[in-house]
Structure 1
Amino acid sequence: MSIRALVYGDADPDSLDAAAVWAQSMARALAAAGCSTMLLLRSRPATDRLTAALAGTSDVTVRHPQEGGHRVDPGPQGLTPEQAVELITRIDAERRFHLVVLRGRRTAVVAAHSEALAGRLWTCVDDIPPTLAGMTPGVVSELTDIALASRFLLCAGEELRCFLESNVPAACGRAVLLPPALTAPRRPAADGPGVPLRVGYAGSLTESRNVPEMTELPALLAARGVPAELHVVGALGRGSPEWTRRAAKALEHTPNVVWHGGRSREEALGLLADCHVALSWHRHDSDAALAPALTALEPGALGIPVVVNRTPLYEELLGADYPLYADPAPQGAAAALERAGRPEVHREAAARCAAAAARFTPDRGVETLRSLLRTALPPAPRGTNPRLPLKVAVAGPDLTGLDPLIRHLDGLPGVELRLDEWEGPHTHDQYLSRELAAWADVVVCEWCGPHALFYARHKRSGQRLLVRLHRFELATEWPRRLDIEKVDAVVCVSRHYAERAREHASWPADQMVVLPEGIDVAQLSRPKLEGARYTLGVLGAVPSRKRLDRALDVLTELRGRDPRYTLAVKTRQPWDYWWVWNRPEERAHYEHAYRRIQRSGRLAEAVVFDPYGPDVAAWLRRVGFILSTGDDESFHRAAAEGAASGSVPVVWHWPGADTVYSPRWIHRDVTAMADAVHAVVTGDRFDAERAAARAEIAERYALPQVLEQWVRLIVADERPAPDGP
């Protein structure tokens, strides 16, 4: 299949700003990943700065609004967001793109309201407000609309992705990492600085980039006894008239400053490569940026160091002791450049920058895009015919547990999917349910409840019925009332619960299928935050059988050995569930636990409750050990998700735990759990143990392989091996 992609960046095609560079590199990377790509420009370009590099790239066509069959006359600043989306939609009606890749929040908001593009948008969200103050209700609402309409939200860095997920719940599961790809040719580190010291800047010239201030640097360096030249490449961006006049005057008339004007990216990088040190120096109010600037990354690929502001982002990238951090004031930048003139400092800084740049190669970006394309555009399952698709209905009162499967089935050629979401165990649209019972080739019931009994009663000859059973139903009569002869397979997430269900309802063993929870290792596997090895995590502490009290016992034991241990609990509260809070024994359990935390010297400062929400992957970054302390679990997805994130699982020996997790993580008492944690920390085994845990989950429960097993069961009644995937 030839994959067709359209790329639109809300950018001036004659500038060198980040949006223009993004559009160029995205079109090139998609072509390298196997897509036939159209790059749509915001306006007719006056130069070939953006397009020259794409002229020889196969499978990339460049189009501006005033050419082709759907011509638009844009305003002086190019297409408005409304014009851009209308033009994209008209072109798409002819070519039917498999994906539409957008950058620019204003345009993405308009596109999100286009039903014609829904589900095919891949939206770059690098221009969101970087601070909580900027995430106003209006901005969150816009980003929610964008997330719901997008197949993927493309994030340049992990901090950006986690910030987005923490503020926009709809982004969780859709936000993926696609770091910038450096087009600069890799060069060895420079031998050292020269005289005069040649300082370079190549990028957008905007108010946040300290343009007039950087022109002061040669004079400030001369006062320190360092002869220097400043070479600036770029066209002035939009700003206030007063600032624009001041910046242009400074660039044109300051001694020892050479303004090369706007150039193509390739020419700009060539000029930068002739310098001894680069600048990526911005105003203090830009310190909250959530992704590294290209001006901070590309010098490393050219073999030269860069002067940057000291921010947490760059400390993670270059190290806290990187020698060329600069204060926002010109004197601070001059001091850093003076240090760059020392050969030993120059060598160290150039090596740090080269190592950082090596993490952003074009090959990595292309491989990431290929992986995303495989996820978004899977082939038709074996045994299906896209012209006569298999009709699949998924029914139940709560389908969230099957969300990944539903999204996967919805995107499969050869499968037509419809949902029957019951409002409650006995409340549903009877007309819809009867319609789907008559329509579907295969019915999948999430939970073994009244809806499963309904579809068993209305099962047609030749129709297949699959029922996924959880722990909850074993406390009800529904499994015993189900006509098992009408059911083709009962799916359980573990061997232990498959056996319990079979005994509970007297079902034949050959109708039991074990399909574990699918764990999205790719989404969960993220760098841990500093100090994570001293943080225990509990994900879900309600109802009382989850045994929050046992987690507190483990923490108490550990804090007796080292006061750095803490416990993070991400959960709904018991009073959020009426059926829990109305039971005296449940209320007593939590009242005792919370009173214990308040009154204990070891616990009061060491337990943090975080609100329930889908931002689990971001939350797990600070958790080094994930606890599973419950009395009874069927699979305990939380422990598997924690392990996939790189947290070490610490599992109570609940019945059947050894059929889900390796015995190395399972412990028979609180002391053994605490001993296991402390031995890993004090024995310097944290990285090795968490790598082993992640590898175990990836091998047994990785989401792609579990989805593949589900598809085989649905399409061809092909059952997994007795031990699961």
Structure 2
Amino acid sequence: MMRVAILGEQNFSLIDGSTIWLLNVCKLISLQHDIEPVLVLSHPLTNDLLAKELPERVKIVRFEEISHLLAPGADRLDAASASLALGVAERLHGPLDRVFVRGARFLESLVHEPDWRQRVVAYTPETLPDLTRPEPAWLLAAREARIPLVVQSEIAKQAMEALSNYPAQVVHVVPPIVFDDAEREPRANSPVRLCYSGKIDPNYGIDWLLEFCETLPDQSDLAATIIAGKDSFRARHPEFFKKFDVFRSDVLSGFVQNVEYHSNLSHAEAKAQMSKAHFAFCLRHAKYDDVIEISTKIVEFSSLGVPPILNDTALNRSLFGEDYPYYVDILSENVVERLHEIMASVGTESYELAQARTTEIASQFSASKLSDKLGTAIRGFSDAAFVDEGSKRRILIATHERKFLNQFLDQVRGDPNIDIVWQHWKTTTQYGPQAPNVPPDVDTVFCEWACENAVWHSHNKRQGTKLIVRLHRFEAFRDFPARINWEAVDALIVVSEYFRDMMVEDHGVDPDRIHILPQYIDWDQLQRSKHPDANFTLGLVGINPFDHKRFDRAIDFFAKLRQKDPRFQLAVRSVMPWQIGWVWDADNDDKVKFENVFNRIFADPVLQGSVRFDPAGPDMEEWYRGIGTILSSSDTEGCHTSVMEALASGSDAVVYNWPGARSLFDEHVEDDMADAVDRVIAFADDPAQPEKRRAFSQSMKQYDVVKFTRDFFQL
């Protein structure tokens, strides 16, 4: 049983979208029968309306149980005491395996504490960075440690990847969770009712709502319900709240007709009132137009069959569709007039469409669909069974460079049956800071890269352990393989048939011990829709060094393509050669070769304006959405992961026939890349292109990281 603390900055005594989110998270985690939730309250509980709705499985650490850690008179948990509060939770309920954290202050504290860093799972609804400020320190540390991060929408995930360089593999999309457990009140045919439920925030369009309510005394067929949460920013907006207080008093005194006002309702009572409405008022002022957090209230109204009236924003259109009839352009339309127009549509085709759409939305956000997603994010390791039940593995990984292991490690992060320890090598030839050794409880040594690490371990193998070595292209042509004691190596991993044959012929390695496992890809993360201009965009990943990647060959091909069809563009994603000292300052003519190619790009009329250079970055899954065909122009490669990733994303490929290419990408390989010009043009215009893209993608599923991880543990 895994024990998970839930820690948020929210005051659980108040009722608003964020505390409803916290309640629903507790409910959702409770559905995971192998996870025991422990809610750590950051404020005193002065109103138990939400607490009464917590499942019995949720253990609660009350503020009073941690208040002795704080300064006298403190009314909330401070960031500096977060780890101490979690220590109290452990003393009361047992060791914590994970901490699910919402709130920048708490994250800031916990990700910098070694004892908690690897147990944190972060949640953030705010994913658009403020470019006027440095990145938050918690985000820098969390990204470096590949801490699992939960966001609310695909747009938010894309923003984290593209704008904050967060690794796609550890960003999990878990939208607001809705439990369809409300006692629904019967909905009267008349009057047509508009409902608002949430905090009283001036930026939540409450001024428009009040103005609309003022028109109701003369509209006997219309009504409004306001279910009020807390007042927000009262001190900042005295004039607004002065007007609102008068309105509230008039409604409660009966002076305002056709308006109901409720406050201090339980969550269940609020949803029962919401279900009586025909429409939900979910408009906000323009301040919130660029927010990419999905409103819990929008999802709740949808689950109740109440169509929400929404701002006309990209997020709302991505969720409800372009044809949803109840968007409001708050900058160009009269909001109150538009509300009347919408409310007059009950019974029309537009209303039926909106109700059908809310049913679709609610199904996407149901607890049954999302509980496993949140469970996977919290566990931090794949649910695939990599180790036989009852078995445990303790693996020592010896390497100078971990960059090709990250996604593999994400699969097993925190798996109680898999324990990974590290042996750090300074370089390909030097260990450090300590002399290498193999602890007695290690059952397997994995040498990532067949360099001096593999040489040492092959000559110092301890009896009873297994030794697995992975060979990349880099070291295959150096002296390391000749000095490895291959008799001591239980399994050699290579990336293609070409390297298998090389190791058999040149070094006498037993072919039965060689396993072809190309560098893995995260196939699921690459299943994203293509951008409209992808059909006519070629992609090239990496141009350094010159004689390896052969940038000139790619440009030759692209020029021939442009001569025949000028619709095409080329996107080059790479570090520039002058940014790499060993490339730009090398004692060879590579610098001149690069300069010649760049001069050609800017001078040749066929190429001018058609080549763009995208800076290198980790958000490759998003970048491939804009690529219709990937190029591989290299003289040599191991398995060219970018081609595998692009094909998995649904791109076509043109691959120069480098050694080993045909064993991986046969139908895409050309002895002369120019022979593919007509193929690329035909593919861009092919009516059957969607089916072909799906076929390309399926052909790469065999290289998914989950399969690689399973194969590795079989070794």
Same fold? TM cut 0.5: yes
For 1:284 and 1:445, the matched residues in 2 are separated by 55
Preserved contact between residue 423 and residue 436 of structure 2 (Cα < 8 Å):
no
Q: Which runs of 5+ in 1 are unaligned?
A: 714-725
Question: Which residue is equivalent to 1:218?
Answer: 213
**Per the alignment, do residues 291 and 653 of structure 1 end up closer, same or farther by CA in structure 2, a change over 3 Å counting?**
farther
Moved more, 266-275 or 316-325: 316-325
2:577 matched to 1:574? yes
Question: Which residue is equivalent to 2:106?
Answer: 107
| Root mean square deviation of aligned Cα | 3.3
2:662 matched to 1:658? yes
Picking from 604, 629, 633, the partner of 1:629 is 633
- 1:394-416: per-residue Cα shift (whole Å, max 9, x none)? 22322211233445566343554
Superposed, 1:640-719 pairs within 5 Å as: 640-661=644-665, 663-698=666-701, 700-713=702-715
Picking from 340, 357, 360, the partner of 1:355 is 360
Give the drift of 1:365.
0.5
For 1:293 and 1:429, the matched residues in 2 are separated by 51
Count the aligned residue pairs: 698
For 1:665 and 1:501, the matched residues in 2 are separated by 26
Picking from 243, 246, 249, the partner of 1:249 is 246
Superposed, 1:284-683 pairs within 5 Å as: 284-328=286-330, 332-340=334-342, 341-342=344-345, 343-372=348-377, 376=381, 381-382=387-388, 390=394, 392-406=395-409, 411-429=414-432, 432-436=434-438, 440-544=442-546, 545-559=548-562, 563-581=566-584, 582-661=586-665, 663-683=666-686
Preserved contact between residue 10 and residue 19 of structure 1 (Cα < 8 Å):
no
Preserved contact between residue 196 and residue 225 of structure 2 (Cα < 8 Å):
yes
For 1:562 and 1:15, the matched residues in 2 are separated by 62
Preserved contact between residue 379 and residue 414 of structure 2 (Cα < 8 Å):
no
Give the drift of 1:290.
1.5
Preserved contact between residue 386 and residue 713 of structure 2 (Cα < 8 Å):
no
Which residue identity lines up with residue 369 of structure 1 in the other structure? Answer: L
Moved more, 157-166 or 544-553: 544-553
For 1:563 and 1:271, the matched residues in 2 are separated by 60
Partner secondary structure for residue 691 of structure 2? helix
Superposed, 1:15-414 pairs within 5 Å as: 15-34=14-33, 35-54=35-54, 57-67=55-65, 78-93=76-91, 95-128=94-127, 130-133=128-131, 136-137=133-134, 139-148=135-144, 151-184=147-180, 195-219=190-214, 228-241=222-235, 242=238, 243-253=240-250, 255=256, 256-328=258-330, 332-340=334-342, 341-342=344-345, 343-372=348-377, 376=381, 381-382=387-388, 390=394, 392-406=395-409, 411-414=414-417
2:12 matched to 1:6? no
Give the drift of 1:472.
1.9
Question: Which residue is equivalent to 1:721?
Answer: none
Partner secondary structure for residue 235 of structure 1? strand
For 1:68 and 1:232, the matched residues in 2 are separated by 36
Partner secondary structure for residue 683 of structure 2? helix
Preserved contact between residue 218 and residue 228 of structure 1 (Cα < 8 Å):
no
Q: Which runs of 5+ in 2 are unaligned?
A: none
- 1:239-278: per-residue Cα shift (whole Å, max 9, x none)? 0421544444344436354321232222222212211111
Which residue identity lines up with residue 471 of structure 1 in the other structure? Answer: R
Moved more, 152-161 or 261-270: 261-270
- 1:324-344: per-residue Cα shift (whole Å, max 9, x none)? 221335953224323322223
- 1:643-679: per-residue Cα shift (whole Å, max 9, x none)? 3334344433433223223x44444543453433333
Which residue identity lines up with residue 493 of structure 1 in the other structure? Answer: V
**Per the alignment, do residues 437 and 672 of structure 1 end up closer, same or farther by CA in structure 2, a change over 3 Å counting?**
farther
Question: Which residue is equivalent to 1:720?
Answer: none
Give the drift of 1:168.
3.1
Partner secondary structure for residue 698 of structure 2? helix
- Percent identity, aligned pairs only, is 25
For 2:182 and 2:590, the matched residues in 1 are separated by 62
Preserved contact between residue 625 and residue 650 of structure 1 (Cα < 8 Å):
yes
Preserved contact between residue 27 and residue 39 of structure 1 (Cα < 8 Å):
yes
Give the drift of 1:117.
1.8
Partner secondary structure for residue 419 of structure 1? strand
Give the drift of 1:58.
4.6
Moved more, 615-624 or 115-124: 615-624
**Per the alignment, do residues 568 and 263 of structure 1 end up closer, same or farther by CA in structure 2, a change over 3 Å counting?**
farther
Preserved contact between residue 125 and residue 153 of structure 1 (Cα < 8 Å):
yes
Which residue identity lines up with residue 615 of structure 1 in the other structure? Answer: D
Preserved contact between residue 381 and residue 412 of structure 2 (Cα < 8 Å):
no
- Superposition TM-score, scaled by structure 2 size: 0.88
**Per the alignment, do residues 555 and 311 of structure 1 end up closer, same or farther by CA in structure 2, a change over 3 Å counting?**
farther
Partner secondary structure for residue 236 of structure 1? strand
Preserved contact between residue 49 and residue 265 of structure 1 (Cα < 8 Å):
yes
Which residue identity lines up with residue 161 of structure 1 in the other structure? Answer: K
Give the drift of 1:602.
4.2
- 1:224-243: per-residue Cα shift (whole Å, max 9, x none)? x8953331213233304215
Which residue identity lines up with residue 246 of structure 2 in the other structure? Answer: K
Preserved contact between residue 326 and residue 332 of structure 1 (Cα < 8 Å):
no
